[in-house]
Structure 1
Amino acid sequence: MPPARPGETSPRPGWFARLGGSILFYTKLPLLPGWQPRFEGIAPLAPVVGLGLGLGLAAVDWALAQLGMPTLTRSALVIGLGVWVTGGLHLDGAMDTADGLAVMDPQRRLAVMADSHSGAFGVMAAIAILGLKTLALAELTSGRGWVLVAAMVWGRWGQVVAIARYPYLRAGGKGALHREHLRPQDWLLGVALALGLHGLWLGRQPGQILPVGISLAGGLVLAWAVGAWLNRRLGGHTGDTYGATVEWIETLLLCLATLA
């Protein structure tokens, strides 16, 4: 790649290098030998990582079901495995965001969110997220794998929407890299992936029009609404609120899917 001119940002690397960077950034998974990752412009590929994670967790859930494990137990294991594979990255952001939002003084919120120590509201947020995810997944008697994959794709697409639409509040934060290398059309990849997933779901299981419709409409609405709500409360976003956006979209979409 040619070097950047003075005053310009460096050009983005190829998608394969960025995919490697997104896997390393968003998960604890190792890369294949010889895969050279780059981190500029990885945010648009987050839904692709979500697709891979969702498929892996759905496969684990299916395998545990074949072994006869009770629904609630395997639901808890699948949700816990998801936290482990991501290194708790998004959950940590949701906890820090909850601590920040609990502060009455808006001027102190970012400082509280930057504190590495978890407060009472952060702990409560983690309990709520993990508990609701586990119980909602356990309530799904059919289409569990599809809903799980859809939730992980929509959650990460919601993060891309938040990065693209709202200002970033910390110039030196890790999330600044995402916004710096984002292009206006980058949000299209995630929504195309989600639409294709729901089309495949309906094609494989034509009788599940209602759950597919709820997942599709709910995912679209939540992907916009969660980021917008956090922006309204804080006046912008940080890396922590990006994580919170992912977690709450996943949680609320799983809960919404129980209506079907």
Structure 2
Amino acid sequence: MTFINRLVSLITSVLSSIIISFSTYSIIPMPRVEWDEKNRKYSLIFFPLIGVVIGGVLCGWWGLSGVLGFGVFMRSAVALAIPVFITGGIHLDGFIDTVDALGSYQPKERKLEILKDPHTGAFALISCSVYFILYFGALTEMKSLKAYIMLSLGFILSRALSGLGLVLFRSAKKQGLLYAFSSAAHRGITGFLLGLILFICLGFLLYVDRIGGSVLFLMALLIFWYYKRVSYSQFGGITGDLAGFFLQVCELAIVIAVAVIL
């Protein structure tokens, strides 16, 4: 009975962690669970699963748009909206807040205040508009299922790296959503499993296209390094908004790279 009880407890904990991860980083309806340290501890491990969902929907949309006879502009417009819709724009919000703070050229303390400011500045609006124009333009150049598969793997790659950042990098604040996740996470197990997911993703990228997969992976690592450097030098550490900024920049770079390579 002891073994069965432990097994049930483990399964319940895993399911609760998955639910918390999806409830936090997507708008996919989930049942309610207790938001405690035990259930939250391993939720970051399942963050890349949201990338799997986004990638699956994108590839499904590629097939459906062909059946419906949609042209490249309609296909690209919906493909652009899919990640934003599934995530509820949570990472895009972080991107907007971060570019506002970076564009202010204020001291660290003031930049952190700007991240919490609900108002959107002109620099953020301009940056967001340019972001969507570049993203949409890159999507119009993707004319094969292979390109969409590579793009889909990028959503998993970016989230595995983002989760690793939450575990490995120091937090700029001792409060907030990011700190709640990173402080509760079992760093050893979470870091190991996210690293494993990262290299599994690399394996799939290389299987789909050896050169393209290598370029995408190295580029994502470079942006990951840039994310740490900017976070530490400009903010004193990472925050939830900065994590969203990294995710959006990484995914923009990936879609442009896929468009160029394939």
Instruction: State the TM-score, normalizing by the size of structure 1.
Output: 0.84
Pairing partner for 2:203 from 194, 199, 204: 199
Aligned to 2:60: 59
Calculate percent identity across the aligned residue pairs: 22
Pairing partner for 1:173 from 149, 173, 176: 176
Does the 8 A contact of 1:57 with 1:78 survive in 2?
Answer: yes
CA offset at residue 159 of structure 1? 1.4
Q: Measure, in 2, the Cα distance between the counterparts of 1:154 and 1:174.
A: 22
Does the 8 A contact of 1:94 with 1:125 survive in 2?
Answer: no
Aligned to 1:251: 252
CA offset at residue 76 of structure 1? 1.6
CA gap 1:214/1:166 in 2 versus in 1, 3 angstroms: same
CA gap 1:108/1:34 in 2 versus in 1, 3 angstroms: closer
Which residue identity is paired with 2:119? H
Aligned to 2:129: 127
Pairing partner for 1:151 from 149, 154, 159: 154
Say if 2:119 is the partner of 1:117. Answer: yes
Q: Which runs of 5+ in 2 are unaligned?
A: 1-9
Number of residues of Structure 1 aligned to a counterpart in Structure 2: 245
- Residue by residue over 1:52-105, the C-alpha shift from the partner in whole angstroms, topping out at 9 and shown as x without a partner, is 222122212321123221123211211112111111100000000111111222
Say if 2:161 is the partner of 1:162. Answer: no
Aligned to 2:50: 49
Q: Measure, in 2, the Cα distance between the counterparts of 1:219 and 1:170.
A: 25
Aligned to 2:102: 101
Which residue identity is paired with 2:190? D
SS across alignment from 2:228: helix
Which residue identity is paired with 2:178? G
Does the 8 A contact of 2:151 with 2:255 survive in 1?
Answer: yes
Q: Which runs of 5+ in 1 are unaligned?
A: 1-10
CA RMSD of aligned residues (A): 2.4
Q: Measure, in 1, the Cα distance between the counterparts of 2:130 and 2:235.
A: 21
Q: Measure, in 1, the Cα distance between the counterparts of 2:206 and 2:67.
A: 24
CA offset at residue 250 of structure 1? 0.6
Which residue identity is paired with 1:149? S
Q: Counterparts of 1:82-97 in structure 2 under 5 Å?
A: 82-97=83-98
SS across alignment from 1:29: coil
Q: Which of the pair is proportionally richer in helix? A: 2
